[in-house]
Amino acid sequence: MTDFARTRALFHMPEGVFYLDGNSLGPLPKSAVQRVQDMMTAQWGEQLIRGWNASGWMMQPRKLGDRIGRLIGAPQGTVVVGDTLSIKVYQALASALDLNPSRRVVLSDSGNFPSDLYMAQGLLGSLDKGYELKVVEPEAVEASIDESVAVLMITEVDYRTGRLHDMKKLTAKAHAAGVITVWDLAHSAGALAVDLEGTKADFAVGCTYKYLNGGPGAPAFIYVAPKHTDKVRPALSGWLGHESPFAFDLDYRSGAGIDRMRVGTPAVIAMAALDAAMDAWEGVSMADVRKQSIALADLFIREVETRCPELTLASPRNGAERGSQVSFRHPEGYAIMQALIARGVIGDFRAPDAIRFGFTPLYIGEQEVLGAVGVLEDVMTNRRWDEPQYRKKALVT
Amino acid sequence: MTDFARTRALFHMPEGVFYLDGNSLGPLPKSAVQRVQDMMTAQWGEQLIRGWNASGWMMQPRKLGDRIGRLIGAPQGTVVVGDTLSIKVYQALASALDLNPSRRVVLSDSGNFPSDLYMAQGLLGSLDKGYELKVVEPEAVEASIDESVAVLMITEVDYRTGRLHDMKKLTAKAHAAGVITVWDLAHSAGALAVDLEGTKADFAVGCTYKYLNGGPGAPAFIYVAPKHTDKVRPALSGWLGHESPFAFDLDYRSGAGIDRMRVGTPAVIAMAALDAAMDAWEGVSMADVRKQSIALADLFIREVETRCPELTLASPRNGAERGSQVSFRHPEGYAIMQALIARGVIGDFRAPDAIRFGFTPLYIGEQEVLGAVGVLEDVMTNRRWDEPQYRKKALVT
């Protein structure tokens, strides 16, 4: 059984805060501060350019990929870290389209994170070959998979409601219809037990600043199923994906395996923080995390529905159909969230009307859940949200 | 007159090292350690998700862009930081091609950094519209600019030899032929006085881990001339380039001005280091930097040619035709550089036979130049490079 008291002690949590927004930005792993400082002073400061070899900076994207791979059911050597999630979506989609050249439909859903859809729009617009981005309702995805579809591009967990797609079922249906799959694990990696190998997903991408606690803007990752890797022609063919980057050839030749999904120079400082964050997962069972996150979310739903009847559950009630977050709807959702944050209960708001709470057993337990519900009840019962300062929209919501 | 004694004191330099590789990775700005630590503890640790608003993380790419803009002659609001240089090359080239839709040639030269050529190969391959990447010798660029060319994509300073292209002349010739220009400033920004506005460059990109000292893998930047910005259709259309990222619309609509060249979530930890690094440029005149770097490089060339006759100058002798680095050729260049590094003289090797030294007046003066030449003379005269361990190729050269 995973020792959550141990993992909880690894994170810094400010006084007086109930943090239910690890699904947006994970908290600071205490060891990351020293890890980054050491990287900066002992490596960058003392080794200078020699750090690329002496401290293994060049291999970090692969090492971190393997550490993440363990949490998402990916074999060693199939995941690499780098860039941002949007870039990784672009890479995966471009490669997936290449593997299915005779078809012209990219199927996605309206529950996908908008940036995934935007990146697809940018790519398909550039390709200008009659591609169609078909965006259906999440419930209609399964029925929309047919032999016209080149790529199914889906985020497993809906960023607003936490609704969970059935990766195994959709991937199987896609494969039966000759469709390549691209799964976005932004709200899955570190939240639930993803099994990329078992579900036979073709491509997967994700970010590391949510449940993996890598810090704001931490690098993303990409997985390519081994059967595809050597067939993939990288659209973003940067030098670090080259077979021999330091030969400085004029012509691109893809590197072996997952290395070809590397693009530019790796973000070494950011990766030092992520490496420290990944330590927290040592000895952690994703099955335990999943079980506990469902228990916490179920408790939250039960308490909120009892004590705050004005709020409407926006997430699936059945924990098995949900990721690790729960949303409630209210026309004044934005102001309610601002009032909560002012009182130390940190969740976030997703337009148009959802207040969203994430449950992250690594550092959140029943005490925080019940504490947060107490504040929410006060905010709702006493209309604490009904003050002008809570309606002023911030840049980031 | 710039006070180089002041700037020199801002950087950490290991004992016993003559660092002539700031053109590959700038040294650690002392203040960056504390800046990053504060960002991690006081911002990420205490503010958590609130840091996006409270600490202005979301605006950092624009603020840093403006700080860099001052060094490269770019007006405020025309530069934004993010991603890697390879990604920024892709963005710039894709946009430039869009602005010149009836032509099919991308003109570059064999002195361009290979990753720029690779990214172009990837993009043109994806577009699959009959584009040709025409790579000529650097000396043939000017004569190759004609009305068949859509985009001239050039690195101003040759990464191997330091040979400097005439940005103003080539841009003028390009414009006269209806060609859009993309300039890579990897070895220019912070090394010489670039004047993007004055030379009328259309697009420019660069990295911040060389002369700008942002740290290994620090984010890149992109400039778009104001007359083009609102016409550019971003190929990498990520959510942070959207007009309203937090509206979470399903359709991409580009943000105003340079914001549309943003893609994914900004790398906040990396940007904290870069922000500290940019402080070193306050009160620094690029004209002074340029003058001093030429003086140091001239001194180095004079001394090396006198004392190490086996080495052949690979860089232009005339400082005005050179960036801030000097290369010498020798068939045993790799082993020579390893022997130098073992003795604390850090430059680097660029295949097939160039040993490369960068001159960075912010923290390097005559004393280091003469000290390095002394070691080089010993290595050459006494064939110190002729030992087997110096021939063993490292991952990064």
Q: What DSSP letter does each residue of B137-172 carry, written as one string?
A: -GGGHHHH-STTEEEEEEESB-TTT-BB--HHHHHH
Domain membership flag for residue A397: no
Q: Compare all CA atoms of chain B with the CA of A338 and give the residue at the minimum distance.
A: B50
CB burial of residue B396 (10 Å; 0-12, 13-18, 19+):
middle
pLDDT at position B395 is: 80
Q: How confident is the model at residue A397 (pLDDT cuts 50, 70, 90)?
A: confident
C-beta atoms of B217 and A266 within 8 A: yes
Reading the block at residue A144, the tokens are 């929309």
Q: What's the whole-number mean pLDDT along residues B132-147?
A: 98
Burial grade of A147 (CB within 10 A; 0-12, 13-18, 19 or more):
exposed
Q: B233, B178 in Cβ contact below 8 A?
A: no
ipTM, interface predicted TM-score of the complex:
0.97
- Percent of chain A scored above 90 by pLDDT? 98
When pLDDT is cut at 50, 70 and 90, the band that residue A78 belongs to is: very high
Tell me if A40 and B215 make a contact (CB, 8 A cut-off).
Answer: yes
Which residues, in sequence order, are bridge partners of residue A153? Answer: A182
The pLDDT of residue B138 is: 97
Q: What is the CATH number of the domain that holds B137?
A: 3.40.640.10
d(CA B262, CA B252): 13
Q: Residue B397 falls within a domain, yes or no?
A: no
Please state the rounded mean pLDDT for residues A9-25: 97
Judge contact between B118 and A233, C-beta under 8 A.
no
Cβ(A30)–Cβ(A11) below 8 Å: yes
CB B85 within 8 A of CB B186: yes
Q: How many CB pairs under 8 A join A and B?
A: 292
- Residue-level pLDDT at B200: 98
User: For position B363, what pLDDT does the model report?
Assistant: 98
Tell me, yes or no, whether A174 and A300 share the same domain: no
* Residue B307, C-beta contacts closer than 8 angstroms, at least 6 positions apart: B373, B376, B377, B380
- Closest chain A residue by Cα to residue B18: A48
Model confidence at B216: pLDDT above 80: yes
Q: Is residue B117 part of a domain?
A: yes
Q: What is the pLDDT of residue B1?
A: 87
Q: What is the 3-state secondary structure (H, E, C) of chain A?
A: CCCHHHHHCCECCCCCCEECCCCCCCCCEHHHHHHHHHHHHHHHHHHHHHHHHHCCHHHHHHHHHHHHHCCCCCCCCCEEEECCHHHHHHHHHHHHHHCCCCCCEEEEECCCCHHHHHHHHHHHHHHCCCCEEEEECHHHHHHHCCCCEEEEEEECECCCCCEECCHHHHHHHHHHCCCEEEEECCCCCCCCCCCHHHHCCCEEEECCCCCCCCCCCCCEEEEECHHHHCCCCCCCCCHHHECCHHHCCCCCCECCHHHHHCCCCCCHHHHHHHHHHHHCCCCCCHHHHHHHHHHHHHHHHHHHHHHCCCCEECCCCCHHHECCEEEEECCCHHHHHHHHHHCCEECEEECCCEEEEECCCCCCCHHHHHHHHHHHHHHHHCCCCCCHHHHCCCCCC
Same domain, A182 and A294: no
For residue B316, CA distances in Å to A81, B158, B322 come to 39, 11, 6
Q: How far is A86 from chain B (nearest CA, A)?
A: 5
Share of chain B residues as helix, strand and coil, in percent rounded to the nearest 5: 45, 15, 40
Q: A316 vs A135, A240, A372, CA distance in Å?
A: 21, 42, 20
Owner of token pair 């939250």: A300
| A310 falls within a domain | yes
pLDDT of residue A252: 97
Q: How far apart are CA A206 and CA A74, in angstroms?
A: 13
The burial of B307, by beta-carbon neighbours within 10 Å (0-12 exposed, 13-18 middle, 19 or more buried), is given as: middle
Confidence of residue B393 (pLDDT cuts 50, 70, 90): confident
pLDDT tens digits, B177-190: 999 999 999 999 99
pLDDT at B396: 83
| Closest chain A residue by Cα to residue B28 | A45
Q: Mind listing the pLDDT tens digit for each residue in B188-208? A: 999 999 999 999 999 999 999
pLDDT of A64 over the 80 cut: yes
What CATH number corresponds to the domain at position A376?
Answer: 3.90.1150.10
* CA–centroid distance for B106 within its chain: 21
Q: Which residues of A touch B342 (CB under 8 A)?
A: none
Task: Determine which one of A11, A113, A349, A357 is catalytic.
Answer: A113
A68 and A134 both lie in a single domain: yes
A145-189 tens-digit pLDDT: 999 999 999 999 999 999 999 999 999 999 999 999 999 999 999
Catalytic residue among A21, A184, A259, A348: A184
Q: Which of A84, A207, A252 sits opposite B118 (nearest CB)?
A: A252
Is residue A172 within 8 Å of residue A200, measured between CB atoms?
yes
Asked if A236 lies within 8 A of B87 by C-beta distance, the reply is yes
Do B113 and B176 belong together in one domain? yes
Contact by Cβ (8 Å): A79, A221: yes
Residues A81-128 pLDDT 10s: 999 999 999 999 999 999 999 999 999 999 999 999 999 999 999 999
Instruction: Determine the distance in angstroms separating the CA of A279 from the nearest CA of chain B, rounded to an integer.
Output: 17
As given in the structure block, the two tokens for residue B362 are 């912010």
Q: What is the DSSP letter of B219?
A: -
> Among A62, A173, A210, A262, which one carries the catalytic annotation?
A210
Query: Is B395 close to A270, i.e. CB distance below 8 A?
Result: no
Confidence of residue A329 (pLDDT cuts 50, 70, 90): very high
| Cα–Cα dist B20/A396, whole Å | 42
C-beta atoms of A269 and B36 within 8 A = yes
The residue in chain A having the minimum alpha-carbon distance to the alpha carbon of residue B35 is A37
pLDDT score, position B93? 98
Q: Residue B285: which of B363, B214, B361 has the closest Cα?
A: B361
Contact A117 B250 (CB under 8 A): yes
Angle separating helix axes A333-342 and A366-381, nearest 10 degrees? 120
Question: Pick from B19, B234, B247: which is nearest to A48 by CB?
Answer: B19
C-alpha distance from A53 to closest chain B C-alpha (Å): 6
B92 is a domain residue: yes
- Tell if the CB–CB gap between B84 and A119 is shorter than 8 Å: no
Identify whether residues A192 and A299 lie together within a single domain. Answer: no
Instruction: List the domain range (segments joined by +) for residue B21.
Output: 4-29+285-391
Residues B246-268 as b/e (b if ≥16 CB within 10 A, e otherwise) read bebbeebebbebbbbbbbbbbbb
Q: Look at residue A76 and tell me if it is in a domain.
A: yes
Which residues of B have a catalytic role annotated?
A: 113, 184, 209-210, 356
Q: How far apart are CA B149 and CA B145, in angstroms?
A: 7
- Cross-chain residue pair B269–A121, CB shorter than 8 Å: no
B294 in the same domain as B252: no
Structure tokens at A50: 């020699």
How much of chain B, in percent, has pLDDT values that exceed 70? 100
CB < 8 Å to B346, chain A = 48-50
Could you tell me the pLDDT band of residue B91, with boundaries at 50, 70 and 90?
very high
Quick one: average pLDDT of B131-154? 98
Task: For residue A393, name the pLDDT band (cuts at 50, 70, 90).
Answer: confident
- Same domain as A323, residue A259: no
Pairwise CA distance, residues B135 & B151, whole Å: 12
Mean pLDDT value across chain A: 97
Give the relative orientation of helices B114-127 and B85-98 as an angle to the nearest 10 degrees: 50
Q: Say yes or no: B244 and B297 in one domain.
A: no
Tell me: pLDDT of A353 over 80.
yes
Mutation site for B-interface testing, chosen from A28, A30, A38, A44 by largest number of B Cβ within 10 Å: A44
Cβ of A41 within 8 Å of Cβ of B242? The answer is: no
Whether A184 is a known active-site residue: answer yes
Give the chain B residue whose CA is nearest to the CA of A57: B216
Q: Is the pLDDT of residue B70 over 80?
A: yes
pLDDT tens track for B148-167: 999 999 999 999 999 999 99
**Chain A residues touching residue B269 (CB < 8 angstroms):** 36, 215-218, 269-270, 273
CA distance A304 to chain B (A): 23
Q: Based on the fold, state whether residues B271 and B253 are members of the same structural domain.
A: yes
Q: Which residues lie closer than 8 Å to A127 by C-beta, 6 or more apart?
A: A97, B126, B127, B128
The domain boundary, picked from A260, A279, A298, lies at A279
CA A149 to chain centre: 25
Domain termination residue (choose one: B223, B252, B279): B279
Tally of structural domains, chain A: 2
> Which two tokens mark B329?
């050729």
Shortest Cα distance from B130 to chain A (angstroms)?
A: 12
Banded model confidence at residue A76, pLDDT cuts 50, 70, 90: very high
Task: Over range B113-125, report the average pLDDT.
Answer: 98
Q: Is A233 in contact with A215 (CB distance < 8 Å)?
A: no
Q: Is the pLDDT of residue B372 over 90?
A: yes
- Of all residues in chain B, the percent with pLDDT exceeding 90 is 98
pLDDT digits (tens, 9 = 90+) for B242-285: 999 999 999 999 999 999 999 999 999 999 999 999 999 999 99
Query: What's B26's DSSP letter?
Result: P
Do A268 and B235 make contact, defined as CB atoms within 8 angstroms? no
State the nearest Cα–Cα gap between B290 and chain A, in angstroms.
23
Question: Is A396 part of a structural domain of the chain?
Answer: no
Of residues B218, B298, B184, the one with CA closest to residue B28: B218
Among A35, A126, A128, A350, most B C-beta atoms within 10 A, so best to mutate, is A126
Domain termination residue (choose one: A279, A314, A343): A279
CA distance B102 to A43: 49
Please answer yes or no on whether A264 and B220 come within 8 Å at the CB atom.
yes
- Measured between beta carbons, which residues in chain A are less than 8 angstroms from residue B273? 40, 269
Distance CA B165, CA B178 (A): 19
Whether residue A209 lies in the annotated active site: yes
pLDDT exceeds 80 at position A67 = yes
The answer to whether residues B269 and B305 belong to one domain is no
d(Cα B349, Cα B261) in Å, to the nearest integer? 34
- Taking contacts as CB-CB distances below 8 angstroms, the residues of chain B near A117 are 250-252
Residue type, B323: G
The per-residue pLDDT for B394 is 84
B162/B231 same-domain check? yes
- Nearest-by-CA chain A residue for B97: A126
Per residue in A262-300, is it b (16+ CB within 10 Å) or e — as a string? bbbbbbbbbbbbbbbbbebbeebebeebbbbbbbbbbeb
Question: Which candidate in B11, B18, B21, B25 is best for mutational testing of the A interface (most A CBs within 10 A)?
Answer: B25
How far is C-alpha B274 from the geometric centre of its chain's CA atoms?
14
For chain B, what is the mean pLDDT? 97
Q: Is the pLDDT of residue B397 over 80?
A: no
- A79 and A205 both lie in a single domain: yes
The closest alpha carbon to B39, from A293, A159, A40, belongs to: A40
Cβ–Cβ under 8 Å, residues A248 and B350 = yes
Residue A163 located in a structural domain? yes
